[in-house]
Structure 1
C-alpha cells in the first residue's frame, strides 16, 4: 500500500456523523485524486419482524437510500470529484462493509461516522464503526461531529 489512497469507501447511514464523514472524505479524495464509493447498507435485522406485515418495506428502504446517495453523489461531483459511485446492500453493515464491500472494491480507506448509540445499546449490539475498525482490510478513519463544549 502506498502513501496515497486510491479507493475510498464512505459509509453513509443518514446520521450527522456520516454527513461529516462524507464532507471530510471529499477533501481526502481530492488531495489523493481518489475514486469514491458511497455505501449504504440497509440493516435487514431492524425490519425483519415488520416485513412479515409490510412486504414493501425493503423497497421503501432502498428507494430512500437511493435518493440519499444520489444527493451525495451530486454534491461530490459539484465539489470536483469526477469518479464517484454508490452501492446499496442489504444485511448487516458490520459485516457487509469491512468483510465484503471493501474487499470487492479493493478499498484502501474506509471513512465512517462514529456511532451515536448509548452505552447500553453498544453493550448489546455493538458499534458498527467499532466492527469496521476491527475487521477492515485497510485503513479506517472514524469521524465525530463537533461537540459544543460550552
Structure 2
C-alpha cells in the first residue's frame, strides 16, 4: 500500500512558483494518496499607513492573493488527489514554516525566487530561510 503524504506549495504567481506548482502536481500524480496544499502568503510592506490607507492596501493585497489562488485552482483542477488552497497573512518564510508544521507537511515545494516590487510575496531569501528552518524536506525549483 502506498504511503499517504502531504505536499505544500508556496505560490506567489511568479514563473518559478508556477514551475514549483507543476512539479508538485507531477509528484502528487504518482500517488493518489498524496494531498496537495497550496498557499499564497501576503503581508503589507513595513510602512505606516493612515487607517483608510491601511484598509485600502489590505484589500488590494487580499484581492491579489485571491487572484493567485484562482490561478492555482485552474492549474490543478484536473488533479484527482485531495487538494486545498489557502491564503495566509504574515511574513512569507515564517508563515510557510509554521503552516507546514501545523499541517504536518512531508514536503514543501517552492520556487527559488519570487515576485519583486509592489507584487512582492517572496524574496530570494525566503527559499533559503525555508530550507534552513522547515520541519520537513524542501524541494526548491529553479
TM class by smaller structure: 0.7 to 0.9
Whether 1:85 and 2:84 are equivalent positions in the alignment is yes
**Aligned residue for 1:129?**
127
C-alpha RMSD over aligned residues: 2.4
TM-score by length of 2: 0.82
Give how far 1:48 is off. 3.5
Distance (Å, rounded) in 2 between the aligned partners of 1:69 and 1:51? 28
Q: How many equivalent pairs are there?
A: 133
Distance 1:93 1:32, change over 3 A: same
Structure-2 change in CA distance of 1:129 and 1:5 (3 Å): farther
> Following the alignment from structure 1 to structure 2, what is the Cα–Cα distance between the partners of residues 81 and 112?
21
Structure 2 residue matching 1:32: 3-state secondary structure:
coil
Unaligned runs of 5+ in 1: 118-124, 145-150
Deviation of 1:94 after TM superposition, in Å, equals 1.3
Q: Any conservation in 2 of the 1:73–1:84 contact (CA below 8 Å)?
A: no
- Structure in which a larger fraction of residues adopt helix: 1
- TM-score, normalising length: structure 1: 0.78
